A and B are shown apart, each in its own frame.
Chain A
């Protein structure tokens, strides 16, 4: 208890400086009367203004009904700086007038016509009296004593134990929110020999069709086999399988040794999903071979194995090794397509490849 004498003075406190105060409170400043207090004409004028504002609000409300009937959501109107939905414009304008009319009226009324003489109320200390505190504590003690909470340790412990276990159902019942990730994050739908398709036209890509400097968005051939109706499956596939295919002049390539033969005549395929937070990357600068993520500006050097040259991404873009099949179309070259998990890092993604 903090009010026992033994504990007093334990807390160091700021010194009392009240005697140094230079001035005495002069008391409330004399009241200044408004024009509407002294001049009945001004008061009458204010009254008319308030009424006019309420009237304006009523006009706004009627205007809203008119606008609702008069305009279809597809009608447009030019409002000077832009062309916009006429329905939206007139509904918003009239609603705004309806609301602001009431708002200005009420505030004008309060400021001009309601008394502005300041009222003084005393504050009361927020803490209860020592007596009330002691009484509350005593009652609590009676209750504790009557329940035997302190004495009956068996009840106390079993109750605490039961209550401590109770959150478990909440956790257990939420288990079916989703499947365990397993190795799902490490897999894509790419397989050895699978053709690269263009996105969104889903045509196979012939190596000879790509020109130097060109960038094509791609998906695996498996994507074309997902039925149109399976929207979710298509979205999930896009989120992990999306690639970009670029063609860079062969003499500008400086791939890491491991990835030296992962391209076809300067054509390289990379995962489109940023290794930072998973945004699909799209901004390609053909002269510098930079690929920039618009979300957080991670920049990857595509002629050097996709290494990070700027921004928060910590890992190179995973490269998809490609080759050509008998018909000259680009296909994934290695088993399982990508040789490492694509997309943002996660705890168990495995060591650096």
Chain B
């Protein structure tokens, strides 16, 4: 027994006597996790969240969430003697009088941007590889919820320092709340404790930002990880990797070192970014003043898509009697986000309804092997990208010297026309790639060797691919649309749920149409015997040497 193990014995014994820990440890210390670079995207999100908790706790030790007006008398000379809220003054204090305060502020902001970015990219990975399929639908929903409340949490944090930018963001948020029919003005007066901006909103938002939402995120992250743990991680198909096993390295010691080390790397990168790149220099913006704004007002990147929709929406407002319905705000801020997020959150169930596939899936799919899903994803992403670009239309205008009205008009059409185009295009690209794979399986690898046959014909020599590659290229499911069964059973009883089945079969045909199937056993055999025949013919040609 090594000294390390001996040292661990006493605490393990202690815990075990109380909660039977060894039973669990025995089964889980060597738990296997598969390896792939894309599996670390979710890890980045998790670790940046821990960085957020640590740096955020540091900030709370000095930040005063109060809108009480004070006259600044800190170290930053340009703002001395200026009246401002305590929130803003204490943020200046953190930046100029607390050693390491600016670093922690910047680490907090950078890791917040990273947190949302990592969640987004992780979600794309999960979407495009089909990792959300049964039995992981619940984890998809938890993940989507995490991303959405991550946006909310980010916006809340952005609004706390009460500088000119964050106050402007809150003003727009209040404008959105006001636009809600019937209850809008009531909600606004309740939220802000009266007329905007009031004197209480920042302290209310503070509790939401440091307690309520982090607690929810923490709870959901825990559930997310427990489900991953229990259901075991998905893996890429490959030799020896099946739907019924999981192949990889053990939690202890390999992943303890790798994942633990990766946490330090994420933290380190956040620290370096904060050392080199300034972010949110609130002292340049000045304290919030509801009658001032600076040109080029931009939210953090993850709010850009919502802001972009606000910018692109045409000026539509309906007046019914003495009531006003502000479509110009409701549509971009509430209706479209709702229309986008609902199918996105429910996508696993939508796809399951269409394909009728109720099996467990633990093997990931290459995006090309689900052309329709990949196309839908590209469609959603292109919409997101375009409205996000709309959120920076002023930036694009100054960068490329294009009139801002031109950009806006272009994007107004593009957000409607480009996504369907992207769907078709992406689907076609996928099908093309599927064709190439099929070709490779049936005809092998192009060797680049050109051979001249005795009859003068030139051919390129193809070499069969390795069994390992052949298996990898054919490890995905064959895609079979649902067939609508007979309308009546053998006894003439009409099949129940016929209408639903018909819709389903039609959707499933749409979903799988044009997809290229991997070759069947017979096709592979035929192709190989064909190749052998060719070779034999060639050989005999060479032997006899008779020209045609």
**What's the least CB distance linking B522 to chain A, in Å?**
8
Contact A352 B319 (CB under 8 A): yes
| Chain A 302-349 interface residues, beta-carbon cutoff 8 Å to B | 308, 310-315, 343-349
| Chain A neighbourhood of B179, CB < 8 A | 344-347
A residues 261-318 in Cβ contact with B at 8 Å = 272, 276-283, 294-298, 308, 310-315
Contact of A164 with B by CB under 8 A: no
CB neighbors of A among B148-188 (8 A): 168, 171-172, 174-176, 178-186, 188
A84-108 interface mask toward B, CB cutoff 8 Å, 1 = contact, 0 = none? 1101111111011111111111110
Given A28-B247, A99-B268, answer yes or no on A239-B355 (Cβ-Cβ < 8 Å): no
| B69 close to A238 (CB less than 8 A) | no
Q: Name the contact of B296 in the complex, choosing from A100, A294, A298 (C-beta under 8 A).
A: A294
Return A247 CB to nearest CB of chain B, in Å: 20
Instruction: Select from chain B the residue with minimum beta-carbon distance to A278.
Output: B175
- B533 interfacial contact with A, CB 8 Å: no
How far apart are B90's CB and chain A's nearest CB, in angstroms?
14
CB proximity of A271 to chain B, nearest CB, Å: 10
- CA A352 – CA B320 in complex, angstroms? 10
Q: Which of chain B's residues have a CB closer than 8 A to the CB of A283?
A: 295
Whether the Cβ atoms of B248 and A296 lie closer than 8 Å is: no
Which residues of A lie under 8 Å from residue B265 when comparing CB positions? Answer: 99-100, 103-104, 107
Is the C-beta of A5 less than 8 angstroms from some C-beta in chain B? no
Asked whether B530 is an interface residue with its Cβ less than 8 Å from the other chain, the reply is no
* Docked-complex contact A123 and B195, CB < 8 angstroms: no
Which of A199, A235, A344 has a CB less than 8 Å from the CB of B178? A344
Contact residues in B for A345 (Cβ distance below 8 Å): 178-179, 317, 324, 326, 329
Instruction: Say whether A17 contacts B480, CB under 8 Å.
Output: yes
**In the assembled complex, which residues on chain A have CB atoms less than 8 Å from the CB atom of B46?**
none
B182 to chain A: which residues have CB within 8 Å? 347
Partner of A313, one of B97, B262, B323, B328: B328
Name the contact of B297 in the complex, choosing from A26, A295, A298 (C-beta under 8 A).
Answer: A295
Chain B 489-508 residues near chain A, CB threshold 8 A: 495-497, 501, 504-505
Q: How far is the CB of B334 from chain A (nearest CB, A)?
A: 13
Residues of B within 8 A of A13 (CB): 356, 358, 482
CA A10 to CA B310, docked complex, whole Å: 46
The reply on A12 being an interface residue by CB < 8 A is yes
Contact partner of B175 among A9, A20, A277, CB < 8 A?
A277
Mark the stretch among A36-44, A112-120, A136-144 that contacts chain B.
Answer: A112-120
Q: Would you call A277 and B275 a contact (CB within 8 A)?
A: no
Q: Which residues of A contact B189 (CB under 8 A)?
A: 178-181, 184
B18 interface hit (Cβ, 8 Å):
no
How long is the Cα–Cα vector from A102 to B307 in the complex, in angstroms?
40
Chain B hits for A272, CB < 8 A: 291
Q: Is there contact, CB below 8 Å, between A297 and B311?
A: yes
CA distance A313 to B327 in the complex (A): 10
Interface size on B, residues (CB 8 A): 149
User: Is B357 a contact of A99 with CB atoms below 8 Å?
Assistant: no
Task: Answer whether residue A242 sits at the interface, using C-beta atoms and an 8 A cutoff.
Answer: yes
Query: How far apart sit A106 and B261, CA to CA, in the bound complex (Å)?
Result: 5
B482 touches A312 (CB 8 A): no
Q: Which of B118-126, B237-245, B341-349, B536-544 contacts A (4 or more CB under 8 A)?
A: B237-245
B231 at the interface (CB under 8 A from A): yes
Q: Nearest chain-B residue to A18 (Cβ)?
A: B478
B362 cross-chain contacts in A, Cβ below 8 A: 123
B232 adjacent to chain A (CB < 8 Å): yes
Are B257 and A12 in contact, CB atoms less than 8 angstroms apart?
no
In the complex, the answer to whether B484 meets A12 with C-beta atoms within 8 Å is yes
Query: What residues of chain A lie closer than 8 Å to B290, measured between beta carbons?
Result: 235-236, 238-239, 242, 280
| Cross-interface CB contact of A84 among B32, B75, B278, B311, cutoff 8 Å | B278
Known contacts A114-B253, A347-B184; is A178 also within 8 Å of B240 by CB?
A: no
Q: Closest CB of chain A to B487's CB: distance in Å?
A: 12
Cβ-closest chain A residue relative to B260: A106
Judge whether B103 and A92 touch: CB under 8 Å: yes
Is B404 positioned at the interface, with any CB of A under 8 Å from its CB? yes
CA distance A54 to B267 in the complex (A): 16
How far, in angstroms, from A296 to B315 measured CA to CA in the complex? Answer: 11
Asked if A119 meets B30 with Cβ closer than 8 Å, knowing A14-B480, A294-B293, A350-B322, the reply is yes
Question: Which residues does chain B contribute within 8 Å of A201, judged by CB atoms?
Answer: none
Min CB–CB distance B40 → chain A (angstroms)? 11
B535 adjacent to chain A (CB < 8 Å): no
A199 to B289, CA, bound (A): 12
Decide if B102 touches A294 in the complex (CB within 8 Å): no
- Say yes or no: A103 contacts B275, CB within 8 Å: no
Selected from A9, A122, A125, A236, the residue in CB contact (under 8 A) with B196 is: A236
A15 at the interface (CB under 8 A from B): yes
B319–A178 touching, CB < 8 Å: no
List chain A residues, Cβ under 8 A from B355: 14
List the B side residues contacting A107 at CB < 8 Å: 257-258, 261-262, 265
A85, B102: Cα distance in complex, Å = 9
Query: Which of these binds chain A: B4-12, B374-382, B414-422, B463-471?
Result: B463-471
Q: Is the CB of A351 within 8 A of B272?
A: no
Q: Say yes or no: B394 contacts A118, CB within 8 Å.
A: no
Tell me which of B289, B321, B483 contacts A351 (CB under 8 A).
Answer: B321
Stretch with Cβ within 8 A of A (4 or more), from B217-225, B452-460, B513-521: B513-521
Stretch at the interface among A146-154, A205-213, A224-232, A248-256: A224-232
Question: How far, in angstroms, from A99 to B195 measured CA to CA in the complex?
Answer: 47
Residue B531 CB within 8 A of the other chain: no
Q: Map CB proximity to B onto A60-89 as digits: 1 under 8 Å, 0 otherwise.
A: 000000001001111000010010110111
With both beta carbons as reference points, the residue of chain A lying nearest to B489 in the complex is identified as A9
List, in ascending order, chain A residues with CB within 8 A of B275's CB: 88-93, 95-96
CB neighbours of B181 from chain A (8 A)? 347
Name the one of B75, B174, B261, B520 contacting A105, with C-beta atoms under 8 angstroms: B261
A185 lies within 8 A of chain B by Cβ: yes
**Residue A97 contacts which of B175, B268, B483 (CB distance < 8 angstroms)?**
B268
Alpha-carbon distance A344/B196, docked complex (angstroms):
12
Instruction: Tell me whether B360 and A125 are in contact (CB under 8 A).
Output: yes
A22, CB-defined interface residue at 8 Å: yes
Over the window 166-208 of chain A, the binary record of Cβ atoms lying under 8 Å from chain B Cβ atoms (1 yes, 0 no) is: 0000000010011111001100000000000001000000000
Q: Given the complex, which residues of B lie within 8 Å of A296, measured CB to CB? A: 307, 310-311
Least distance between B500 CB and chain A CB atoms (Å): 9
Which B176-235 residues have a C-beta within 8 angstroms of A? Answer: 176, 178-186, 188-199, 231-232
Knowing A87-B99, A231-B85, say if A312 contacts B315 (CB, 8 Å).
Answer: yes
Are A110 and B253 in touch, CB under 8 angstroms? yes
Whether, in the assembled complex, B429 has its beta carbon less than 8 Å from a beta carbon of chain A, the answer is no
Is A257 in the interface zone, CB < 8 Å from B? Answer: no
Is the pair B191, A177 in contact by a Cβ cutoff of 8 Å? yes
* Any B CB within 8 A of the CB of A258: no
Chain B residues, Cβ within 8 Å of A17: 477-478, 480
What's the Cα separation between A131 and B280 when bound, in Å? Answer: 60
Mark out the residues of chain A between 233 and 247 whose CB falls within 8 Å of any chain B CB in the assembled complex: 235-236, 238-240, 242
Q: Could you name 27 residue pairs across A and B whose Cβ atoms are closer than 8 Å?
A: A10-B495, A10-B496, A17-B477, A22-B518, A23-B474, A26-B240, A27-B239, A79-B276, A88-B103, A96-B275, A99-B268, A99-B271, A107-B258, A118-B249, A119-B248, A120-B32, A120-B240, A121-B32, A177-B191, A178-B192, A185-B185, A229-B69, A231-B199, A236-B197, A296-B311, A297-B393, A313-B315
Q: Which 9 A-B residue pairs are closest in the complex by CB-CB distance?
A: A92-B275, A231-B69, A106-B261, A99-B268, A277-B175, A28-B240, A103-B265, A314-B317, A100-B268
B contact residues vs A (CB 8 Å cutoff):
30-32, 67-69, 75, 83, 85, 95-103, 106-107, 135, 168, 171-172, 174-176, 178-186, 188-199, 231-232, 238-240, 242-250, 253-255, 257-258, 260-269, 271-272, 274-276, 278, 288-297, 307, 310-317, 319, 321-326, 328-329, 332, 355-358, 360, 362, 393-394, 404-405, 408, 441, 467-468, 470-471, 474, 477-478, 480, 482-485, 495-497, 501, 504-505, 518-524
Contacts A71-B99, A114-B254 aside, 10 further interface pairs with beta carbons under 8 A come to A95-B268, A100-B268, A106-B260, A122-B245, A123-B244, A126-B231, A181-B188, A277-B175, A294-B294, A294-B296
